[in-house]
Amino acid sequence: MSRGIGWGKAIVAGEHHVLHGATALAVALPGVCTEVTLTPLAGDRLSVQGEPLAKPLLERACELAGVDCPVRAEVSSTVPMSRGLGSSAALAVAAVRAAVAFRGQPLDRSEEHTSELQSHLNLVCRLLLEKK
């Protein structure tokens, strides 16, 4: 079993400017987090319990980390969605950390993987909001 945690964030100054490459002041919110737990599983490659929208992101995190056995992923989060507190990033970070830990190797700053996963999750969320 492995576990990954990603914390929420609050941008104190520069909220909208950071989207255009400017500097911002942000703080982590350790009491507000997303946790992903992976356990070995017989059967399908990945079975997600918790947030159903997270399945494609979790599958990609496992693929990027080299996890090649079936796993069950449990996702729990206290980071509110669509509130600017970094719920997408928290899930992406937790997924990458859990997948790398599952493989049994230390995390080596997988920033490019986290960015790819966050972009994927943002797209999924946008598509779901458009359906409403």
Q: What is the pLDDT of residues 116-128, one digit of tens each?
A: 666 666 655 555 5
The stretch 109-119 carries a mean pLDDT of 59
What single DSSP character describes residue 82? T
Write down the pTM of the prediction: 0.74
Dist CA 38 CA 29 (whole Å): 23
Per DSSP, 62 falls in state: H
DSSP 110: -
- pLDDT at position 132: 43
Mind listing the pLDDT tens digit for each residue in 1-51? 889 988 898 888 877 776 777 787 888 888 899 999 998 887 766 676 666
Give the β-pairing of 46-49 and 25-40: unpaired
Q: Residue 93, SS3?
A: helix
Among residues 116, 68, 70, the alpha carbon closest in space to that of 95 is found at 116
**How many whole angstroms separate alpha carbon 123 and alpha carbon 120?**
5
Distance from C-alpha of 81 to C-alpha of 86, rounded to nearest angstrom: 8
pLDDT of 75-97, one tens digit each? Answer: 888 988 888 788 888 888 888 88
32 three-class SS: strand
What is the C-alpha separation between 31 and 120, in angstroms, rounded?
25
- Report the candidate in 67, 50, 46, 48 with the shortest Cα–Cα distance to residue 113: 67
